[in-house]
């Protein structure tokens, strides 16, 4: 979703996300359904763990010549930084809601809620190093969110 194509998911008339964002979320959901089918054929019963990302910051910072991934589209559609923070939150929450609908015993799909793990700024240690990547401590904090879920599925092993 991020990158130049992010612009197609924004409303040009100041209403934040366009209804078009649901199309990409539906496509991602279909991809997960295909993953479940593949797993059921090749590794029946194997759990699948996922996360819902975190609330990135559209500040225009890239890394190693890549990015930015959010701010250019927001600027093109006349959204400032505060609106961008809200729009990104809405995208991540929509993604979480879709994943949450897939999780549970039916799909043996475990959703780890990573929202709100990082601070919505560029401060160390838990802020964002650029628009979509945290600092090292942030990656560790996100990874640590998986431990309780892994311990539930694999008791005594982690």
Whole-prediction pTM: 0.94
Please state, in angstroms and rounded to a whole number, the distance separating the CA atoms of residues 56 and 53.
8
Average pLDDT rounded to a whole number, residues 54-58: 98
Task: For the chain, give the mean pLDDT.
Answer: 96
Res 31 pLDDT > 80 = yes
Average pLDDT rounded to a whole number, residues 116-132: 97
Res 142 pLDDT > 80 = yes
Please state, in angstroms and rounded to a whole number, the distance separating the CA atoms of residues 39 and 152.
20
- Angle at CA of residue 115, ends 1 and 92, nearest 5°: 25
Q: What is the dotted CATH code of the domain comprising 4-153?
A: 3.40.50
8 Å CB contact between 11 and 79:
no
pLDDT band at 98 (very low <50, low <70, confident <90, very high): very high
Res 99 pLDDT > 80 = yes
Please give the full DSSP string across 1-65, using - where no structure is assigned: --SGGGGGGB-TTSSSB-TTHHHHHHHHHHHHHHHHHHHHHHSTT--EEEE-------S---BTT
Please state, in angstroms and rounded to a whole number, the distance separating the CA atoms of residues 41 and 52.
25
pLDDT band at 105 (very low <50, low <70, confident <90, very high): confident
What was the pLDDT predicted at 139? Answer: 97
What was the pLDDT predicted at 125? Answer: 96
What was the pLDDT predicted at 124? Answer: 95
What was the pLDDT predicted at 104? Answer: 76
């Amino acid at each position: 979703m991020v990158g130049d194509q992010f612009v197609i998911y924004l409303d040009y008339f100041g209403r934040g996300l366009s209804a078009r964002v649901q199309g990409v979320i539906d496509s991602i959901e279909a991809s997960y359904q295909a993953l479940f089918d593949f797993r059921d054929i090749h590794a029946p019963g194997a759990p699948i763990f996922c996360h819902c990302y975190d609330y990135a910051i559209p500040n225009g910072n890239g890394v190693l010549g890549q990015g930015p991934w959010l701010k250019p589209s927001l600027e093109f559609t006349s959204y400032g930084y505060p609106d961008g923070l809200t729009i990104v939150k809405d995208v991540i929450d929509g993604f979480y809601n879709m994943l949450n609908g897939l999780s549970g015993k039916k799909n043996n799909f475990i959703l780890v809620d990573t929202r709100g793990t990082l601070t919505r700024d560029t401060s160390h240690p838990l802020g964002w190093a650029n628009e979509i990547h945290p600092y090292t401590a942030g990656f560790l904090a996100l990874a640590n969110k998986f431990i309780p879920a892994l311990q539930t599925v694999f008791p005594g092993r982690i």
